[in-house]
Amino acid sequence: MTDHLSRRSFLLASAAAAVVRLPESQVLADASASPKRPIIISSANGLRATAKAAEMIGGGADTLDAVVAGVNIVEADPTDHSVGYGGLPNENGVVELDSCVMHGPTHNAGAVGALRNIMHASQVAKLVMERTDHVFIVGQGALDFARAHGHKEVEMLTEDARRIWLRWKETHSDRDDWLSPVKATSDNKHSDAMDEVAFTYGTIHCSAVDAKGDISGVTTTSGLSYKIPGRVGDSPIIGAGCYVDNEVGSAGSTGRGEAVIKNCGAFAVVELMRHGASPADACLEVVGRIAEHTRDPRLLDDQKRPRFDVKMYALSRDGRFGAASIWSGGRFAIYADGRNRLENAKYLFKRS
Ligand code: GLY
Can you list the domains of the chain with their CATH numbers?
3-157+198-349 (3.60.20.30)
Rounded (to 5) percent helix, strand, coil in the chain: 35, 25, 45
Alpha-carbon span 10 to 15, nearest angstrom: 8
Specify the DSSP element, H or E, that contains 253.
strand 249-255
Distance 200 CA to ligand 1 centre (A): 9
Find the 233 Cα to ligand 1 centroid distance in Å.
5
Rounded to two decimals, the pTM is: 0.88
Three-state DSSP class for residue 10: helix
Q: Is 200 marked active-site?
A: no
pLDDT at 196 over 50: no
Q: What is the pLDDT of residue 297?
A: 94
What is the overall mean pLDDT for the chain?
88
Residue of 308, 313, 309 whose CA lies nearest to 333? 313
Is the confidence at residue 347, as pLDDT, over 70? yes
Catalytic residue among 63, 158, 203, 220: 203
Bridge partners (DSSP) listed for residue 44: none
- The whole-number pLDDT of residue 21 equals 37
pLDDT at residue 11 is higher than 70? no
113 in ligand 1 pocket by Cβ < 6 Å? no
Cα-flanking dihedrals φ and ψ of residue 132, to 5°? -140, 170
CA of 24 to the centre of ligand 1 (A): 34
Q: Please give the distance of CA 305 from its chain centroid, rounded to a whole number.
A: 20
Cα–Cα distances in Å, from 324 out to 50, 79, 82, 329?
18, 25, 20, 10
Confidence of residue 201 (pLDDT cuts 50, 70, 90): confident
255 lines ligand 1 (CB under 6 A): yes
- Categorize the per-residue pLDDT at 23 as very low, low, confident or very high, splitting at 50, 70 and 90: very low
C-beta 224 within 6 A of ligand 1: yes
* CA 284, 316, 319, 43 torsion-angle sign: positive
Q: How confident is the model at residue 8 (pLDDT cuts 50, 70, 90)?
A: very low
Residue 254 pairs in a beta bridge with 311
